[in-house]
Amino acid sequence: MILVKLTKVLGINPVRYRSYLTSIFIALGCGVMPVNAQALVPHTVKLNFSNLEQQGLALARDAAQLAQFEQYDLALPRARLAVQLAPQTYQTQAVLGSLYLRKEDYTKAIANLTTAHNLKKDNPAILFSLGSAYLRKSDYNSAIQKIKQGLAIAPKEPTAIFDLGNAYYLAKRYDEAIAEFTRVVEIEKKFWAATNNIGLVEYERGNVDKAIEFWETAITQAAAADDKAAEAKLALAVALYTKGDLTKGLKMSEDALKIDPRYGRVDFLKENLWGEKLITDARAVFQNPSLKELLQQSELSTKRTPQRRSP
């Protein structure tokens, strides 16, 4: 499960709009380099005009290696030059498209990834990346189409199935979303984020007790994977608080926000696909004086301490 492991290495939520750059790296033969390996990549480019295509592929490999360590400012010019030198190779187009996806330039990402797909129809990672780009552009029907095409080739990739569930959820096709999230857990037992998102769907449908059960299960799954699951804990806390269990809900909210204070921001909750009902109830919980103080302290701490931006 390369993509699931990738999210752990990068320290990001294992569901939210990944690019599938790692799979494309593997197609280029990049593999995982040692932590200081980017120092081995020369920062100047010497072109050999006798074999431009091979030179382009080599530059794409360099760009991919740099991107593995978030050296996007160095990677992007190399990837652009790689495409100029070898425009008819799917690897160069895929790497550039994936880098644009990481940089959140979704229009350019879709253009290059579409070219890559036209050059290599049977590569599921490219289709999954296209699905992610369309998802970020809120074109849910196109996202569903591309991800399903990729799953026709690689049917048991849990991260892609999860993205398909997210696309159905955002398109308000709730039954189909739950079916895909359930399929994820059947393949990957510790993929707690899928169980968490079933809770998000059920809460939006007004099934609060069902949502609570799924969030409790997600927390148990996360513990088995050594994950503190701040999101599931906060969602559960909000549900309990709203139902009237104020003491337990408040305590769990405090615990969750101490794990990851970003969940105290409404924009971050929206990014993580919280629906209107759950966000409305979360706002009410955040008005509690003790939580307001905690969130203010967290905001001050964040301003004082430079934060490493997750990809």
Taking residue 25's Cβ as centre, other Cβ atoms within 10 Å add up to: 27
Q: Where are the domains of the chain?
A: 1-137, 189-311
pTM value is: 0.84
Q: Left (φ > 0), alpha (ψ -120 to 50) or beta: where does 247 sit?
A: alpha
Do 1-137 and 189-311 share a fold? yes
Pick the closest to residue 126 from 78, 163, 91 (CA basis): 91
Amino acid at 241: Y
**pLDDT, tens digit (0-9, with 9 covering 90-100), for 74-104:** 999 999 999 999 999 999 999 999 999 999 9
Give the DSSP H/E element, type plus range, for residue 38.
Answer: none
The answer for residues whose C-beta is within 8 angstroms of residue 309's C-beta and 6 or more apart is: none
Which is more confident, 97 or 36? 97
**CATH superfamily placement of domain 189-311:** Tetratricopeptide repeat domain (1.25.40.10)
Give the tens place of pLDDT for each residue, 177-233.
999 999 999 999 999 999 999 999 999 999 999 999 999 999 999 999 999 999 999
Phi and psi torsions of 174, nearest 5°: -65, -40
Total Cβ atoms within 10 A of residue 272: 18
So what's the architecture of 1-137 in CATH? Alpha Horseshoe (1.25)
